[in-house]
Amino acid sequence: MRPATCALLILALLTGSGAQADPVVVVPARLGVEKLSHEEVTNIFMGRFRALPSGAPALPIDQPPGSPLRTLFYQRLVNKDQASINAYWSRLHFSGKATPPLQASSETQVIQQLLTRPGAIAYLERSQVDARLRIVFEFPP
């Protein structure tokens, strides 16, 4: 797994150096959700609620581990690094009540899952957003 990690880090550095814009939170356009607040996004991604304001279940999807976007997202969302996020989840691991977001294996899988799984919600680079997707939350500049 070590060569893969190195490769990801390099990629991240490459992409990062290429385009370091904030991620945006998106849902499938057909879902009918217009906007989410920062709090709502936090609740959903940090396991407090697994539902949209409309009441429909929400399924958060994480970028693959080591993704610079993922790091950036949590940094911007709850101001914690990835280790803290991991520790958080590991503390909840045994009670089984709350589970971490679904983990995609790649960026593409993220979009795939987003489009396929009901109630999916994920964060992307703004450049990855297309018509099938709708931005419901943007980090303020």
Q: Which residues bind other proteins (CB under 8 A)?
A: 39, 42, 46-48, 77-80, 88, 91-92, 94-98
Q: Minimal distance in Å, beta carbon 134 to other proteins?
A: 25
Q: Minimal distance in Å, beta carbon 122 to other proteins?
A: 19
Q: Minimal distance in Å, beta carbon 51 to other proteins?
A: 13
| Residue 102 or 115 having the CB closest to other proteins | 102
Residue 63 · residue 123 · CB < 8 Å? yes
If DSSP codes are grouped into helix, strand and coil, which group holds residue 93?
helix
What Å distances lie between residue 59 and 7, 134, 137, CA to CA?
28, 15, 16
Backbone angles phi, psi at 134, to 5 degrees: -130, 130
Q: Minimal distance in Å, beta carbon 88 to other proteins?
A: 6
Rounded to whole angstroms, the Cα distance separating 96 from 53 reads: 24
| Residue 98 or 135 having the CB closest to other proteins | 98
CA torsion 106-82-90-39 (nearest 10°) is: -90
| Residue 29 or 92 having the CB closest to other proteins | 92
Closest CA relative to residue 25, chosen from 127, 141, 125: 125
| Residue 45 or 61 having the CB closest to other proteins | 45
Structure tokens at 31: 């879902």
| Residue 42 or 103 having the CB closest to other proteins | 42
Q: Minimal distance in Å, beta carbon 68 to other proteins?
A: 21
